[in-house]
Amino acid sequence: MARKRTTFPLHPRKRPTQARAQRTYLAIVQAGARILERRGYEALTTNHVADLAGVGIASLYEYFPNKQSLVAEIVRHVLEEFLADLRANVTLVAASPHEDAMRAWIAAIFAAVHKRRSIVGVIFREVPFLWEIPAVEQARGLLLEVAFASRDLRARAVRTAMVPDATVYLLATMTGAAVLEAVLRPPPQYAPEVLIASLAEIVNRVRGERPDRTAS
């Protein structure tokens, strides 16, 4: 049976343009993030957020029509910070020897998730409309673009046949799921470095399964 989609808005009423309004807006989002991280989704209320942010409830509702739209904006901010961390590592990954590049990239993803593991855990376990938030779909699309671009660069650099699109999609999706599992529920018997190296080896092995035998 298909899951029923939400009927409430998952976006702010408006975004601030003036500096003072921007500070108020950010204070609301940051207060909501602290409550979400510490107390969970069910315990978050707009009244609690307004109190912690030091603003009137009317100021909160000026920007957010409901609790869900505020949580969606919190998720967007978390994802923006996560993606900014990854962008900061792109040069480092690109400068790595080819055989180490995938390990460096997975390590960067692991570190970016681990840095904000508490709120990420709440978001993935408790937010019921997570996959309906536009920022989540946009982030997934961006990471897939990176995966396809990496596939194309590798194929040209080492003269191998293209890994099929479906394989790239599955590798990227499974890699993300594996990193989340390893960070949010770390197995005590394996150090993070071992998991990162093993995951990179798996991905590299699949990516190298289709040599171009027609290449000279």
For 26-51, b/e burial (b = at least 16 CB within 10 A) is ebbbebbbbbbbeeebeebebeebbe
pLDDT at 137: 93
In sequence order, the β-bridge partners of residue 160 are: 211
Predicted local distance difference test score (pLDDT) of residue 206: 85
Q: What's the CA gap between 171 and 39, in Å, rounded?
A: 34
Q: Which domains does the chain have, with CATH numbers?
A: 19-68 (1.10.10.60), 73-207 (1.10.357.10)
The 10s digit of each residue's pLDDT in 124-168 is 999 999 999 999 999 999 999 888 887 777 667 666 678 899 999
Residue type (1 letter), 161:
A
pTM: 0.87
> What does each of the 216 residues of the chain score in pLDDT, given as a tens digit?
445 577 788 999 999 999 999 999 999 999 999 999 999 999 999 999 999 999 999 999 999 999 999 999 999 999 999 999 998 887 766 666 666 888 989 999 999 999 999 999 999 999 999 999 999 999 999 999 888 887 777 667 666 678 899 999 999 999 999 999 999 999 999 999 999 999 999 998 887 744 333 433
Quote the DSSP letter at residue 128.
T
Q: Exposed, middle or buried: residue 105 (CB in 10 Å: 0-12, 13-18, 19+)? A: buried
Instruction: Specify the pLDDT at position 138.
Output: 93
Q: At what angle do helices 98-115 and 117-126 cross, to 10 degrees?
A: 80
- Give the pair of three-digit tokens for residue 129: 């409309």
pLDDT tens digits for range 59-69: 999 999 999 99
pLDDT at 192 (0 to 100)? 96
List helix spans (H) across the chain.
19-39, 46-53, 57-63, 67-95, 98-115, 117-126, 134-158, 165-184, 192-207
